[in-house]
């Protein structure tokens, strides 16, 4: 596997250690960018050459996610994060050199909700907590992220509120030429880099499984009222046209005929080719040119063939125009389309506004709520232990328990069973039922 690692020249001093990782069948190629505009350009030029992409930090990761959403979604992507171990290593060093060090005299710009403030909030009193850049990692996705980080540090220094500037931005020192304080650079350890790469390799596995998932297409022709022969002709003509499409473009779509519709089965990889990465459906174009009647095309993908079939049939019901159209419903029940080239996978669906309401009510991060909701869809169930939640959200079991406890307080979760450990020793585990349904989910 070839992994592209995007970085600035400033980060190369620590990032070059990635070549020391002993990971079989993985080759790293470090590509440098001068600024964020240059990053966008070289990413678009290079990403198709690689199995996956890794960023040296959250700024290039979030910038690509915002500036190139289609390309970002088409390849496994991760960034190397600072871990609790990395932070405490540097804190210990500073405390040794400065016995009077206090957390409240510092700004640590890489603490935010998404990394659970590296667990500092679990033991450090609020009055002693360090200054932070923002409550969310999303601030690093702003076009002027570097300037925002520097401004925050410098303003607090000028106001004499801090004495220590902890940062993971290797170029932050370039903004400090006119002040006496130098930022304390916290860089990921080799162990943190390995953890990020292993996480990325898991994403590659999931991505490859996704490409091999079964996709169902539901093709329904318009019926001619009270004309049995015409309907029989349309059924045969549609079947023949799909065969011609297979032959002309080299696909191997499996076709099933019924009196009401035709169904095709393919894999996700071929589906992406047929729909040009969900922008324009070549099958819809071909059938429009070949047949004198309208065909409704719906695509569906799910954990099982039955779910994919149901999604495909539902997607086809959105084809309301008087000509052949194509829509898709994805595993999050979002409707994408029409796939006609004018709308690159437009989402015709309400955003998860109900999760935003839950976030306001419970004071929990929307980031965690979205991942919990996606868990229920991915695994097609609502019941999880705190240990399962911690694994899938990449948080500590303590944090998972805190999230579940808060959801339980507001009736968005409930303990439905207490599970004894297999050995009969140790604390029993609670099984929580998550109740994060959309308003229509219960209809």
Q: Given the DSSP bridges, would you call strands 383-385 and 335-336 parallel, antiparallel or unpaired?
A: unpaired
CB 29 within 8 A of CB 18: no
Q: Which of 266-275, 349-358, 389-398 has the lowest mean pLDDT?
A: 349-358
Residue 110 is predicted with a pLDDT of 96
Q: What is the DSSP string of 307-370?
A: HHHHHHHHHHTT--SSS-EEEEE-TT--EE---BSSSTT-B-S--SHHHHHHHHHHT--HHHHH
Mean of pLDDT values over 246-271: 87
Task: Band the pLDDT of 348: cuts 50, 70, 90.
Answer: very low
Look at residue 189 and tell me whether its pLDDT is greater than 60.
yes
Q: How far apart are CA 169 and CA 185, in angstroms?
A: 7
Q: Architecture of 212-336 per CATH?
A: 2-Layer Sandwich (3.30)
User: For residue range 116-153, what is the model confidence (pLDDT) as tens digits?
Assistant: 999 999 999 999 999 999 999 999 999 999 999 999 99
Q: How far apart are CA 413 and CA 405, in angstroms?
A: 8
Output Rg (C-alpha) for the chain, integer angstroms: 26
User: For residue range 16-49, what is the model confidence (pLDDT) as tens digits?
Assistant: 999 999 899 999 999 999 999 999 999 999 999 9
Mean of pLDDT values over 173-200: 94
If you average pLDDT over every residue of the chain, what do you get? Answer: 88
Residue 349 is predicted with a pLDDT of 43
Q: Which of 73-87, 244-258, 280-294, 422-436 has the lowest mean pLDDT?
A: 422-436
Task: Band the pLDDT of 377: cuts 50, 70, 90.
Answer: low
- CATH class of segment(s) 2-81+191-207: alpha beta
Residue 8 is predicted with a pLDDT of 95
Residue 238: beta bridge partners? none
Q: Where are the domains of the chain?
A: 2-81+191-207, 84-187, 212-336, 353-442
Residue 351 is predicted with a pLDDT of 42
Mean of pLDDT values over 169-191: 94
Residue 334 is predicted with a pLDDT of 75
Look at residue 303 and tell me whether its pLDDT is greater than 80.
no
Enter the CATH code of domain 353-442. 1.10.10.10
Mean of pLDDT values over 227-237: 88
DSSP structure class, residue 431? E
Task: Band the pLDDT of 442: cuts 50, 70, 90.
Answer: very low
Given strand 27-32, what is the order of strands in its sheet?
27-32, 2-7, 52-55, 77-79
The 10 Å Cβ neighbour count of residue 399 is 19
Nearest Cα neighbor of 408 from 390, 434, 426 is 434
Q: What is the pTM of this model?
A: 0.60
Q: How far apart are CA 252 and CA 61, in angstroms?
A: 37
């Amino acid at each position: 596997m070839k992994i592209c690692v995007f970085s600035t020249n400033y980060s190369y001093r620590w990032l070059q250690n990635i070549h020391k990782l002993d990971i079989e069948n993985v080759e790293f190629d470090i590509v440098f960018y001068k600024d964020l505009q240059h990053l966008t350009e070289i990413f678009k030029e290079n990403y198709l050459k690689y199995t996956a992409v890794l960023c040296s930090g959250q700024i290039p990761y979030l910038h690509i996610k915002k500036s190139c959403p289609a390309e970002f979604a088409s390849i496994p992507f991760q960034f190397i994060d600072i871990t609790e171990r990395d932070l405490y290593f540097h804190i210990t060093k500073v405390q040794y050199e400065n016995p009077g060090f206090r957390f409240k005299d510092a700004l640590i710009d890489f603490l935010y909700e998404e990394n659970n403030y590296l667990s500092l909030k679990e033991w450090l009193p609020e009055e002693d907590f360090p200054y932070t850049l923002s409550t969310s990692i999303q601030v690093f996705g702003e076009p002027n992220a570097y300037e925002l980080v520097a401004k925050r540090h410098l303003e607090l220094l000028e106001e004499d509120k801090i004495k220590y500037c902890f940062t993971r931005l290797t170029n932050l020192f370039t903004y400090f030429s006119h002040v006496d304080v130098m930022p304390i650079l916290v860089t990921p350890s080799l162990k943190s880099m390995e953890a990020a790469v292993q996480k990325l390799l898991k994403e590659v596995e999931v991505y490859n499984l996704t490409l091999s998932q079964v996709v169902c297409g539901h093709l329904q022709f318009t019926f001619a009222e009270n004309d049995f022969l015409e309907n029989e002709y349309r059924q045969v003509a549609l079947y023949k046209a799909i065969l011609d499409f297979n032959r002309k473009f080299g696909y191997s779509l499996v076709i099933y005929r019924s009196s009401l519709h035709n169904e095709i089965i393919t894999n996700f990889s071929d589906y992406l080719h047929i729909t040009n990465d969900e922008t324009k459906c070549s099958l819809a174009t071909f059938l429009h040119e070949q047949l004198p009647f309208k065909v409704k095309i719906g695509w569906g993908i799910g954990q099982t063939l039955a779910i994919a079939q149901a999604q495909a049939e539902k997607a086809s019901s959105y084809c309301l125009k008087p000509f052949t159209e194509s829509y898709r419903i994805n595993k999050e029940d979002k409707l994408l389309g029409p796939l006609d080239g004018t709308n690159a996978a437009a989402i015709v669906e309400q955003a998860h506004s109900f999760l935003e309401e839950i976030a306001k009510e419970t004071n929990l991060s929307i980031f965690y709520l979205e991942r919990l909701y996606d868990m229920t869809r991915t695994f097609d169930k609502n019941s999880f232990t705190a240990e399962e939640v911690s694994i899938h959200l990449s948080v500590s079991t303590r944090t998972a328990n805190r999230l579940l406890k808060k959801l339980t307080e507001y009736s968005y979760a409930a303990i439905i069973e207490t599970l004894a450990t297999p050995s009969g020793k140790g604390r029993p585990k609670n099984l929580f039922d998550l109740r994060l349904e959309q308003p229509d989910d219960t209809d």
